[in-house]
Amino acid sequence: MCRLLFILFLILSPNLRAGFYLQHSFGHNTTTNSDSGENVENSNMRNSFILGAMFGKSGQWVIGQGITHSSSSTEATSLAGAEDNSFLELGPRVIFFFNQAKNFYISATYNFYAKGSRTKQGATEDIDGSSLMGAIGVQMKATKMIYFGISMNYHSISISESTVGNTKSEVSHSYSSLYPAIELSIRFK
């Protein structure tokens, strides 16, 4: 019922200018630490997409479906430090453009679906939880519909359930990171 009312509002609002919005963000970072003979290398990669609708008098708001694939890998001299994670995250995303040219923005995403796998010390488990993402960025117009940009992103995943074989258990683990990303957006008005 709420979806139907929202769609009717979008269609019938006289001051509403709507358009479709598609964006892909890619971020990758690697860090290496060496302490007391222990070499630790962390590698993180994130691909984020949004398929949404631009709305408002000047199209400064975007609401849509966010899709993120994130993976991380930790390699250490000792086997105890090795870990690989891979997640698929789904949830609503909101973007607000600060100016009329729609170059500068801030966005927030709540991924109520965050599922994946974690391999630690050779043992693999299925993990389930949720995640939050926030970003601030700038995009510059390349053509009438294509924009390129960069952003600074905050990403936090909270794991609440772990499954090994047929055994489920409640856990409380989290991973957080701050990373830059490059972006491509296509805007249909």
What is the pLDDT confidence band of residue 3, given thresholds at 50, 70 and 90?
Answer: low
Which residue, chain included where needed, has tokens 């500068």? Answer: 104
Rounded to whole angstroms, how far apart are CA atoms 160 and 127?
Answer: 8
Average per-residue pLDDT in the chain? 84
Q: Are 73 and 83 in contact (CB under 8 A)?
A: yes
Q: What is the pLDDT of residues 99-152, one digit of tens each?
A: 888 899 999 999 999 999 888 777 888 889 999 999 999 999 999 999 999 999
pTM: 0.81
Rounded to whole angstroms, how far apart are CA atoms 110 and 113?
Answer: 9
